Structure 1
Amino acid sequence: MSHDENLHWESYLPAGWRPLFRQLLADLHSAGISVRVTQAKEKFGELRVYIDRPDQAAAPLIAAAEQRSTRMCQECGAAGELMVGNYLYATLCEKHGAGFTKPLGRPMISLNLRYPKDD
């Protein structure tokens, strides 16, 4: 999929992370990596980018962009940190973090793993 076809996902992102997403697409293109983005979003205060198939060359570039988002205000792109307010996590700068507080830790993501029953 082309850079322009993947670019439509930026409208699903907070304004402060849109340049980060565009840079990721440019980095993938410059590296000759052709992937189709199937989803791009904010989740627990971090950028998440999903592609149509596993790609060992794309994975480190995507992971680096996702990691940069943890230090970048999702509203304006300035330096930010993880904040919580009304049970919502967001990465925000001091200006956009008004009304939010620093969480005690990272959001807990629980998994429900099922194991086969022993016979």
Structure 2
Amino acid sequence: MADPARNTLPLPDYDHLPIGGLESRVRSLTAEEVEELLAYERSHADRLPVTELLAARLEQLQSGAEPTSGDPGALRPEQSAGRAGSPVSPATSSQPFSPPPHGTPDQRGKPKGDRM
């Protein structure tokens, strides 16, 4: 069941932002927007590092700090539009190798009792 409050938050995908991404994004918010996020966080996940981060930013704003420029909805690094998947290609992969000779069906190893 979707929470309607989640859709009105000042940061899109707030619940999925890593704390490092959240820290940089809250700098562009006003005190009212940070208060809204703090109230939402306390009533939902109530994650201590996040509430401490939001409370500290709110205190900064109330002490005269100004929101910085930036777009809170901008593409996050983890959402990069670049190529997805493995960077390994046939040109960069290692050379194929044969398995060790012991224990393969066509080259059986010697039992330990026969070793000298």
Scaled by the length of structure 1, what TM-score is found? 0.26
- Higher relative contact order, structure no. (Cα contacts within 8 Å, ≥ 6 residues apart): 2
Is the strand fraction higher in 1 or 2? 1
Scaled by the length of structure 2, what TM-score is found? 0.26
Is the helix fraction higher in 1 or 2? 2
